[in-house]
């Protein structure tokens, strides 16, 4: 067991080197792409064809298979930015800064996707695209604003690395605030309007409905990891374009 942790530690430190990451990650892309595609195909078939339609919402509920994974990912991505940002700030690890930077726009897109699919789902079920009175909608919107804040801060620096550091710092402050924001908004909702619509309460799901959802969540995680790796590789190409190893590697590949 001790050996295992030792190996993980060594791998972690090795991954801190752009060169090692670039070479190693080239072996991950194909398996990850196939796994992601497979899971999405099975999940979509399961969600759209196999799962029975909801007794109240009919077929409309099937958007859950995009909406919920996107919502989960938008929060996980924020966590990743804060953790990677913390590593980048404390140990000045180059790779961590690249990961934090790459995850920002991805996380923001998932947050946007959550809001859009939520609105599409809301129209037929609650009769409106948007409810200003609902706590969940508010906290998702605020999460999108937090993302916009860190991206705007990152973009307003002339020195790119300084921008990443400042926005990572902001992401960490935001991470402390996310639970506070979430619970304050819940509290605000319960104060001003009693829950007339039980839209946030999940009914106990049937197994046939649940397994495609779980598959889709895993598939979204794989998709996120794949996109993250591709973006980080792009950043390595940009940042290390003058380094010898990269030139040699690209010459080998004939590019």
Partner 1 sequence: MSDSTSFTKIFLAQIKRDLLLGVVKRNEWLNPIVFLVLVQTLFPLALGGSPDLLENIAPAIIWVSALLATLVSLESLFRDDFEDGSMEQMLISASPFYVFTFAKIICHWLLSGLPLVLICPLLAMSFGIKPDVLPVMLLSLLLATPVLCCISALASALTLNARRGGVLLSLIVLPLYVPVLVFATGALSQAAIGVSPAGALYMLAALFIFALSATPFVLSAALKLSLSDA
Q: Contact residues for partner 1 (CB under 8 A)?
A: 89, 142, 145-146, 148-149, 152-153, 156-159, 161-163, 165-166, 169-170, 173-174, 177, 180-181, 184-185, 187-188, 191
Q: What are phi and psi of 128, to 5 degrees?
A: -150, 150
Q: H-type helices in 156-206, by residue range?
A: 160-192
Please, what is the minimum distance in Å from the beta carbon of residue 153 to partner 1? 6
Residue pair 64/57 in contact by the 8 Å Cβ criterion: no
Nearer to partner 1, 28 or 91 (CB): 91
Please, what is the minimum distance in Å from the beta carbon of residue 69 to partner 1? 24
Please, what is the minimum distance in Å from the beta carbon of residue 31 to partner 1? 38
Please, what is the minimum distance in Å from the beta carbon of residue 150 to partner 1? 8
CA 178 to chain centre: 15
Nearer to partner 1, 159 or 252 (CB): 159
Nearer to partner 1, 122 or 174 (CB): 174
Using N-to-C axis directions, what is the helix angle for 64-91 and 207-239, rounded to 10°? 40
3-state secondary structure (DSSP) of residue 206 = coil
**Residue 168: CA count within 13 A, CB half-sphere:** 28
Please, what is the minimum distance in Å from the beta carbon of residue 59 to partner 1? 35
Please, what is the minimum distance in Å from the beta carbon of residue 149 to partner 1? 4
Nearer to partner 1, 156 or 238 (CB): 156
Q: What is the DSSP letter of 201?
A: P
> Where is 77: in which H helix or E strand?
helix 64-91
Q: How many whole angstroms separate alpha carbon 142 and alpha carbon 185?
A: 10
Nearer to partner 1, 1 or 180 (CB): 180
Query: Is residue 176 exposed (0-12), middle (13-18) or buried (19+ Cβ within 10 Å)?
Result: exposed
| Residues sharing a CB contact under 8 Å with residue 52, sequence separation 6 or more, in sequence order | 206, 208, 209
Nearer to partner 1, 28 or 187 (CB): 187
Measured torsion, CA atoms of residues 142, 157, 21, 217, in degrees rounded to the nearest 10: 10
Candidates 42, 79, 54; CA nearest to 224 is 79
Nearer to partner 1, 69 or 174 (CB): 174
Please, what is the minimum distance in Å from the beta carbon of residue 60 to partner 1? 31
């Amino acid at each position: 067991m001790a050996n295992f942790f030792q190996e993980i530690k060594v791998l972690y430190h090795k991954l801190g080197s752009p060169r090692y990451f670039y070479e190693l990650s080239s072996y991950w892309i194909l398996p990850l792409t196939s796994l992601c595609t497979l899971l999405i195909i099975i999940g979509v078939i399961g969600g759209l064809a196999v799962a029975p339609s909801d007794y109240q919402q009919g077929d409309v509920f099937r958007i859950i298979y995009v909406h919920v994974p996107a919502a989960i990912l938008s929060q996980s991505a924020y966590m990743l930015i804060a953790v990677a940002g913390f590593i980048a700030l404390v140990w000045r690890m180059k790779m961590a800064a690249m990961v934090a930077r790459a995850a920002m726009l991805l996380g923001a897109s998932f947050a946007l996707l959550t809001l859009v699919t939520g609105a599409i789902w809301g129209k037929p079920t609650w009769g409106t695209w948007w409810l200003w009175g609902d706590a969940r909608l508010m906290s998702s919107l605020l999460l999108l604003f937090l993302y916009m804040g860190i991206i705007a801060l990152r973009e307003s620096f002339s020195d790119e690395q300084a921008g990443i550091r400042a926005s990572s710092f902001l992401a960490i402050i935001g991470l402390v605030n996310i639970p506070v924001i979430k619970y304050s908004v819940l509290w605000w909702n319960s104060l001003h309007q009693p829950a007339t619509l039980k839209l946030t309460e999940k009914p106990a799901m049937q197994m046939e409905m649940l397994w495609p959802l779980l598959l889709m969540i895993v598939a979204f995680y794989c998709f996120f990891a794949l996109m993250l790796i591709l973006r980080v590789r792009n950043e390595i190409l940009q940042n290390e374009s003058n380094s010898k190893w990269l030139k040699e590697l690209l010459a080998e590949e004939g590019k």
